[in-house]
Chain A
Amino acid sequence: EAGVAQSPRYKIIEKRQSVAFWCNPISGHATLYWYQQILGQGPKLLIQFQNNGVVDDSQLPKDRFSAERLKGVDSTLKIQPAKLEDSAVYLCASSGQGVADTQYFGPGTRLTVL
């Protein structure tokens, strides 16, 4: 079974530029999550999708971050414009809808904002 795919793996940009990350979840997984992991901290949820609808985006800085999940499969997370404090690893995870289902994580995208 293929895991969660993310691209790119690494990205370096200057502040005020824009950037986009892509995630392809495990086939059949209805729920998709984007987490932000700042160095030295645990991951923090940015947004959660159930199929193509948003379940929770309370922690998403909506003035600069946006995310979409077209057709309930792939997802894109965008930052525009980027700030220095956005430097982090962005992790995508997916899970089914059952009580026993677990979140499976992709390798992440490491973003450096200069």
Chain B
Amino acid sequence: AQSVTQPDIHITVSEGASLELRCNYSYGATPYLFWYVQSPGQGLQLLLKYFSGDTLVQGIKGFEAEFKRSQSSFNLRKPSVHWSDAAEYFCAVPGKKSSGDKLTFGTGTRLAVRP
């Protein structure tokens, strides 16, 4: 079955520092991959998605992610973190190669930002 693993449960970075959140996937073919963010008391908001083509994907709020087939990874990055980025981040993969299908989520990485 398709799955994603987020190895880091909790990460703390200083405001202005760079950020990389890890996501590894298990999928039979080239996957569709998503990153969502969940702020406290909020639903999930899509940051970016990868379907095909360019392996470096730009998203909202200054985030980007790079698809690396050789490493089965889709890590999320941001060059300079803002205090408002403190939230929980989820990597996800659909059950079949369609975005119109159920998502399987990782366990999430909670980001804390030091002032």
Which B residues lie within 8 Å of A4 (CB)? 43
Question: A107's contact among B42, B46, B108, by CB below 8 Å, is which?
Answer: B42
* Interchain CB contact (< 8 A) of B41 among A33, A101, A104, A107: A107
Identify which of B45, B49, B51, B102 contacts A105 (C-beta below 8 A).
B45
Q: A102-B49, A105-B45, A107-B42 are in contact. Are A42 and B90 (CB under 8 A)?
A: yes
B44 pairs with A101, CB closer than 8 A: no
A57 to chain B, nearest CB (A): 11
Total contacting residues, chain A, CB less than 8 A:
27
| Count of residues in B whose CB is under 8 Å from the partner chain | 23
Contacts of A101 in B (CB 8 A): 99-100
Asked whether any CB of chain A lies closer than 8 Å to the CB of B103, the reply is yes
Alpha-carbon distance between A99 and B99 when the two chains are bound, in angstroms: 6
- In whole angstroms, how far apart are the Cα atoms of A48 and B100 in the complex? 10
Determine whether the beta carbon of B100 is less than 8 Å from that of A43: no
> What residues on A are CB-neighbors of B92 within 8 Å?
42
Q: Mark B20-50, 1 if CB is under 8 A from A, else 0.
A: 0000000000000010100001111110010
The residues of A that contact B106 with a CB separation of less than 8 Å are 42
* Residue with the greatest number of chain A CB neighbours at <10 A, chosen from B51, B92, B100: B100
Measured between beta carbons, the chain B residues less than 8 angstroms from A41 are 107-108
**Chain B interface (Cβ within 8 Å of chain A)?**
34, 36, 41-46, 49, 51, 90, 92, 98-108
**Listed A/B pairs (10) with beta-carbon separation below 8 Å:** A43-B90, A44-B105, A96-B100, A99-B51, A102-B46, A104-B46, A105-B36, A105-B45, A107-B41, A107-B42
